[in-house]
Structure 1
Amino acid sequence: MPCRGKCAAAVLGVGEAFCSSYLSLEPATETVTATATVTSVQTITETSFDVVTLTTLTTTITGPTTTIYAKREEKPSADPASQILAQCGNAASRVSSACSCIFSTTSTVTAVEIVTATEAAEVTVTTTATITTDVTITEHATPTVTVSQPIVNGGFEGYRTTGNILPWTTGGTGGRVEVINGVNPCASGGYCAGGQVVVRAYPPTTGGGYASLFQESFTAKASSTYSLSFMYRCLNYDTTTSIEVYYKGAKIGTAKGCTSGAAFTRVTSGIQFTTDETGAGSLEVRFVNPSNLPYLYFYADDFQATRNQ
């Protein structure tokens, strides 16, 4: 329907610019949510040889949420509002109807605010920010570090349940190595080995070779020095009789303390090895017979590696 009347004519005189300038604007809301997760991890520079419990702290921060109200388009300095209101009988409803008429191709206007020339030219921008910090902290006991003996089955006691001395293997250039079960307890004879199972080695009697025990792989603390100790006993020996120890293929010491009598002797000093940055290594124990004695043999037991402080 055509727009008629003095009110409509007054509105048409200034056109869409007037209606667009004076119709109220709905708040435009923008919601911004920022979430950050911070994870703090405790790092323990130990090898797999040490058992370490790690504690992880996670912090979540959410926010802010911001509401922004749109700025109203600035009105011209010469505002025809008073003249239009006069032509429309100072009735806001008639102004609204006239504006709706000239905006026939747009959606229906549901709210109209008439702003007089004396009112502010722009809408104040109001920002409301809410920041919520949600932090969860779980307390744990101090991490426990358990240091194990790096040489596995050093007393050969696993033989009693498995029937073998793994991970030890036997070898050498000749002779043989046997497993003896039941040497202890020290009820008689004064043997006093480290346990009920010991090994007995017979080196070759010709060629100056050796019989050996070999633990191909074990893991100790990285970049650390260890002292090796073990118990042994010699029979039918001479002054050249000895036990040589090798770490990763390099000789690290010799035991030459064979004495008369039946008691075991413990090596407690003089044989050491140092691990590299991986802590991985191997151990070989050679029972040698430089004089090619026909009846020489050894007992050995309770191999231990102790880290030097």
Structure 2
Amino acid sequence: MKAWALCIGAGIMAGVANAACAQSTCGSAKCLGAIGNDAVFGESFCSSWLSLAPVTTTVTEAEAVTSTRTNLETTLTTVTVVTGTTTLSATAATTVFQKRVFTLSGADPAATIVSQCSSNDARVSSACSCFLSTTTTSTVTVVETAVSTVVPEVTNTIVETVTSNVLATTTAPMQTVTIPPNVVVNGGFEGYLTTGDILPWVDTVATTGGRFEVVNGVNPCTSTGYCSGGRIVVRVYPPTAGSGYTGMSETFSARPSTTYAVSFLYRCLNFDTSSGIDVYYAGVRVGRATCPAGNSAAFNRATGIQFTTDTTGAGELQIRFNNPTNLPYLYYYADDFQAIAV
């Protein structure tokens, strides 16, 4: 056995140094004994002191395999397989050392070793070299596990779900609209007594000129002397220039595709043979009431005028009071307008 090995045994067993150790190349017996006092700590201390690094070989195996498959429709599926990481060492025995940082304070074993080595770096290094040459070698066996790189194929099945929102169907009864026999509204102008106007009739004075008045108190009568139509009448003065007219109109709803007969009471004053009242339906003239010969002192009823509604039944009735010869004193009375299905 080498002399320094005997010194270690002596230092460990007796805790004191002998003379032979002092002459050893491993340093003093006290120094070597302090290191060997705790074999585990001694290995750590000396490995750190001598800056020894563990001899290991690290092999990293990593393989990323990507498979891209286009399945049904336009779905893209990507499968990624990554192997693990394996650390391998050489086939020879590997010594593993653990480095420890020590401080020279208190009862730290490292401080004791340095103190027993007389704080001499050369002695510490020499003793550590000798000590580590006798330590047991730690062997690490690494087994490599084979990793399959086969990329599994994945088939996706797309199931389309169609959801139909079904709304509850409710059958509502048709609204019943009652159309009166006379579809002209306020044909006798009696609404004027309560509303102060003759709506839904509107006049054309703003665009055609002339004058339009509502008269309360005139009792229109037929040529036979029979009075009818109420006390409210309209009095119209057509323009005296431009051979124009002054009109009034209203819109209403009648029966679809139905023929109606128009009648009304009228009276002409200060007229000539060309004077008269035209009736238009939906912009088309459908009849005319002419003034009688001579001065008309009585009311006459216009008849024989008809119009036919379209498939909607909606339309506009317009009455035009004409002055084709620009008579200066011509005017008309009118009342009791009716449009009755025939």
Shift in CA distance, 160/213, structure 1 to aligned 2, threshold 3 Å: same
Q: Does 1:212 align with 2:341?
A: no
Q: Aligned equivalents of 1:196 and 1:155: distance in 2?
A: 9
Which of 309, 316, 320 lines up with 1:286 in the alignment? 320
Check 1:40–1:204 CA distance in 2 against 1; reply closer, same or farther (3 A cut). Answer: closer
Question: Counterpart amino acid of 1:207?
Answer: G
Who is 1:99 aligned against?
A: none
The CA distance in 2 between the partners of 1:263 and 1:171, in whole Å, is 26
**Match in the other structure for 2:281:** 247
- Per the alignment, residue 158 of structure 1 pairs with 191
What is the deviation of 1:268? Answer: 1.8
Question: What is the rounded CA distance, in whole Å, between the counterparts of 1:235 and 1:302 in structure 2?
Answer: 18
The match for 1:48 among 156, 170, 177 is 177
Shift of 1:207: 0.4
Deviations 1:84-112 (A, max 9, x none): xxxxxxxxxxxxxxxxxxxxxxxxxxxxx
RMSD: 2.5
1:258 to partner: Cα distance: 2.9
Where 2:312 maps in the other structure, the secondary structure is coil
Contact 2:220/2:298 (<8 A) preserved:
no
Q: CA deviation at 1:230?
A: 0.3
| Residues 237 and 331 in structure 2, CA contact (< 8 A), matched pair in contact too | yes
- 1:237 is aligned with what amino acid? F
Distance 1:303 1:41 in 2: 37
Asked if the contact 2:243/2:324 (under 8 Å) is kept, the reply is yes
| Number of equivalent positions | 168
**SS of residue paired to 1:258:** coil
Question: In structure 1, how many angstroms separate the alpha carbons of the residues matched to 2:280 and 2:220?
Answer: 30
Q: Which runs of 5+ in 2 are unaligned?
A: 1-169
8 Å contact 1:184–1:191 — kept in the other structure?
Answer: no
Q: Deviation per CA, 1:264-296, whole angstroms, max 9, x where unpaired?
A: 000121x11100111101111000001100000
Query: Per chain length, whose mean CA-contact separation is higher, i.e. which structure has more relative contact order (CA < 8 Å, sep 6+)?
Result: 1
Would the alpha carbon gap of residues 256 and 247 (structure 1) be closer, same or farther in structure 2, given more than 3 Å must change? same
* Amino acid in structure 2 at the alignment position of 1:279: G
Residues 1-309 of structure 1: pairs in structure 2 closer than 5 A: 48-50=177-179, 147-172=180-205, 173-184=208-219, 192-215=227-250, 217-259=251-293, 260-269=295-304, 271-308=305-342
Residues 268 and 296, structure 2, Cα contact 8 Å, conserved in 1 = no
For residues 333 and 219 of structure 2, the distance between their equivalents in structure 1, rounded to whole angstroms, comes to 13
Q: How far off is 1:192 after superposition?
A: 3.2
**Following TM superposition, by how much is the alpha carbon of 1:262 offset from its aligned partner in structure 2, in angstroms?**
1.4
Letter in 2 for 1:195: G
Instruction: State the Cα distance separating 1:42 from its structure 2 match.
Output: 8.6
Deviations 1:41-65 (A, max 9, x none): 9979xx8344xxxxxxxxxxxxxxx
Cα separation, 2, equivalents of 1:164 and 1:185:
19
- Distance in 2 between residues matched to 1:257 and 1:49, nearest whole Å: 36
Q: Report the alpha carbon displacement of residue 194 of structure 1 after superposing the two structures with TM.
A: 1.2
Give the TM-score taking structure 1 as reference length.
0.50
| Gaps in structure 1 of 5+ consecutive residues | 1-38, 51-146
Q: Is the 8 A contact 1:169 1:214 kept in 2?
A: yes
1:111 alignment counterpart: none
| Contact 2:181–2:341 (CA under 8 A) maintained in structure 1 | no
Determine the C-alpha separation between the residues in 1 that align with 2:269 and 2:291: 12
Retained in 2: the 8 A contact 1:252–1:273?
A: yes
CA contact (8 A) 1:191 1:263 kept: no
Offset at residue 193 of structure 1 (A): 4.8
Alpha-carbon distance in structure 2 between the residues aligned to 1:162 and 1:267? 28
Structure 2 CA distance for partners of 1:262 and 1:185, relative to 1, 3 Å: closer
Q: Quick one: which amino acid aligns to residue 302 of structure 2?
A: V
**Structure 2 CA distance for partners of 1:161 and 1:150, relative to 1, 3 Å:** same
Distance 1:232 1:193, change over 3 A: farther
Identify if the C-alpha distance between structure 1 residues 300 and 185 changes in structure 2 by more than 3 Å, giving closer, same or farther: closer
SS of the residue corresponding to residue 160 of structure 1 reads: helix
